Amino acid sequence: MLNTAAAYGGMAVAPHHLAAEAGGAILREGGTAVEAMVAMAAAIAVVYPHMNAIGGDGFWILAEPGREPVGIDACGAAVAAAVPELYAGHDAIPPRGPLAALTVAGTVSGWKAALDASASWGGRLPLSRLLADAIRHAGDGIAVTVGQAALTAEKLPGLKDVPGFAETFLIEGRLPAAGQRLRQPALAATLVHLARAGLDDFYRGDVARALAADLGAVGSPLRLSDLESHRPLIVRPLSARLSVGTVYNMPPPTQGVASLMILALFERLGVEAAEGFAHVHGLVEATKQAFLVRNAKVWDPAYMAEPAERFLEGPFLDRLAARIDARRALPWPQPAAPGDTVWMGAVDRHGRAVSFIQSIYWEFGSGVVSPRTGVLWQNRGISFALEEGHPNRLAPGRRPFHTLNPALARFDDGRVMTYGTMGGEGQPQTQAAVFSRYALFGQPLQAAVTAPRWLLGRTWGSDSANLKLEGRFAPALIEALREAGHDVEVVADFTDLMGHAGAIVRHPDGRLEGAADPRSDGRVAAL
C-alpha cells in the first residue's frame, strides 16, 4: 500500500474492508459523512468483534466547513451499584466477567447524537439503511480474520468461562479458524429491532430491558435505571495551534490533551527533517512529558483540579519543552494501559468530515455477552482504582479514563485532515508520527501511515514498557537511540502493536486523499 488513494466526492477509511465498504456505499447513495460513519460503526462492531462491539463507548469530532468542530462524548459512567465495597476481597477490579461489566455502554447513544447534531447537513437515509450492512453481516456470517482467530486462541483461557462468550465466539465449541464463517444471529436481531424502534431503544426500550436482565442475571451491577439515565454529551473539542494550522482532539475523560501536547511540544524542539534521530527522539521525549501530565492530572473532568485547556497554554508548554534533552532519554517507564479500539474517518461530497473512535477496551472487553441481544459488553471500568484516596477511585456516576481520542486538523492552506488509530497507549504516538510526517515534513499520506513506527510503553497485546521500534528503521538510528539511553526493543516490521492507523485529507479543490494501514485488514472506499 504505497500509493495514496485519491478521489473527488466522498471517502471513508476503516481498519476492516467491510466497514469501509459500508461507509462508501452510503456516500455513493448521497449520504452524509455522519450517516456513513453510523453505517461503518455498526458494521465494524459485527465484522471486528475482537476489537469492537455496540456494548462499548465512542467519541466523535464533526467538522463542517465554516463552523467550529463539534465533539460528541458517548462515554458511559460507572453504574449506581458500582461501589468499591462491591469488590471486597479484590486488589483490583477483575478484568473479565460480570464484575468487569460495570459501566454503561455509550456508543449507540453517540450514533444518535451525531445524526441529530448533523441534521442540518441534509441526511435523508433511514436508519434501516444505515444498519443494513451490519445486519446482513451478523445474520449471514463473517469470515473470521487471522487476527480474530489468533486473539481468540490467545485470550481463551481467561474468557472461556465468562457468560455468553463461548456460545458467541466459538464455532461448535471450538476455536474459530481464519476464514471460517461466524454468525451472530442474536446481534442481527437486535440491530433489526434498533432499525425499527430507533437507537434510543438501546437505553429506554426493549433492548435496554433485555440487556439489563441478562447482565444482572449473571452478576453484573448494571441495572435498567443505569441505561435509562445515560445521555451523551455535546462538547467543544480541545485545540492546539501549530505552524501549519490547528489540530483538534477530545477533552477528558479521554487522553486527547496528551495527543495535542505531544505535537505542540515537538514543534517547539525545532526539528527540521523526518526519520532521523531528532524526529524519533524528539517525539518520544515529548510523549514522556505529555504522559507525565496525563497520568497525574487527567481523568473524569468533574474530578480534575485544573481544566485540560491549562495544559495547552503556551507558557506551560514552553516549560515542559525546556525539560526535553535533545541528546538524552528521560528515564522511563511510567504506568500504562492496554486498549482495543477502532478509529474510522469519513468525508462527504460537501467537505464535511468525521473523526470517530469506538472501543470495548481490552480485546473482547469483559467477555460477557447478553444472550437475548448478542451484545458483547466492554470492560472500560477496570481503569478505576479501588484504593481509598486514589484520584481515580471508583464511584457511581464517575466516567472512566479513556485512551480513545479521534483527531482532526484544519490547515491554514485550506486542507482538512481526519486521522487516528487504535492502540491504547500508542494512539497519541501514532497520531504524532503520522501527522508529523505528512503535515510537518511533507511525506505522502500513505507513506506517512505505512512508514515504520515506534511505541513507548504498553499497548494492547504487550506488557513491557520499553521503546519498541519496528525492524524497518535504519540500524544506525536504532543504535543512536540506544546510546541516548532509550531501552530499545526491535519488533516485527509490520506489527499490530503499532495500531491500525488511517487518514483522509480533503484539499481546497475538493480532491480527497486516503490512507489505510497495512497492519490492519482495512481499506479506503471512495466515490
User: What does the pLDDT profile of the chain (527 residues) look like in tens digits?
Assistant: 445 677 788 999 999 999 999 999 999 999 999 999 999 999 999 999 998 999 999 999 999 999 999 999 999 999 999 999 999 999 999 999 999 999 999 999 999 999 999 989 988 899 999 999 999 999 999 999 998 999 999 999 999 999 999 999 999 999 999 999 999 999 999 999 999 999 999 999 999 999 999 999 999 999 999 999 999 999 999 999 999 999 999 999 999 999 999 999 999 999 999 999 999 999 999 999 999 999 999 999 999 999 999 999 999 999 999 999 999 999 986 554 444 578 999 999 999 999 999 999 999 999 999 999 999 999 999 999 999 999 899 999 999 998 878 999 999 999 999 999 887 788 899 999 999 999 999 999 999 999 999 999 865 445 567 999 999 999 999 999 999 999 999 999 999 889 889 999 999 999 999 999 999 888 999 88
3-state class (DSSP) for residue 319: helix
At residue 441, the pLDDT reads: 97
Identify whether 341 is a catalytic site residue.
yes
pLDDT of residue 521: 84
Indicate which residue of 341, 373, 418, 430 is catalytic.
341
For residue 505, give the H/E element and its range.
Answer: strand 501-506
Instruction: Convert 146-215 into a string of H (helix), E (strand) and C (coil).
Output: HHHHHHHHHHHHHHCCCCCHHHHHCECCECCCCCCEECCHHHHHHHHHHHHHCCCHHHHCHHHHHHHHHH
Q: How many CB atoms lie within 10 A of CB 313?
A: 10
Model pLDDT, residue 496? 84
pLDDT, residue 123, reads 87
Distance CA 491, CA 27 (A): 38
Q: Is 65 helix (H, G, I), strand (E, B) or coil?
A: coil
- The answer to whether the CB of 51 falls within 8 A of the CB of 62 is no
Would you state the pLDDT for residue 229?
98
SS (H, E, C) 221-279: CCCHHHHHHCCCEEECCEEEEECCEEEEECCCCECHHHHHHHHHHHHHCCCCCCCCHHH
232, 250, 247, 230: which is closest to 70 by C-alpha?
A: 250
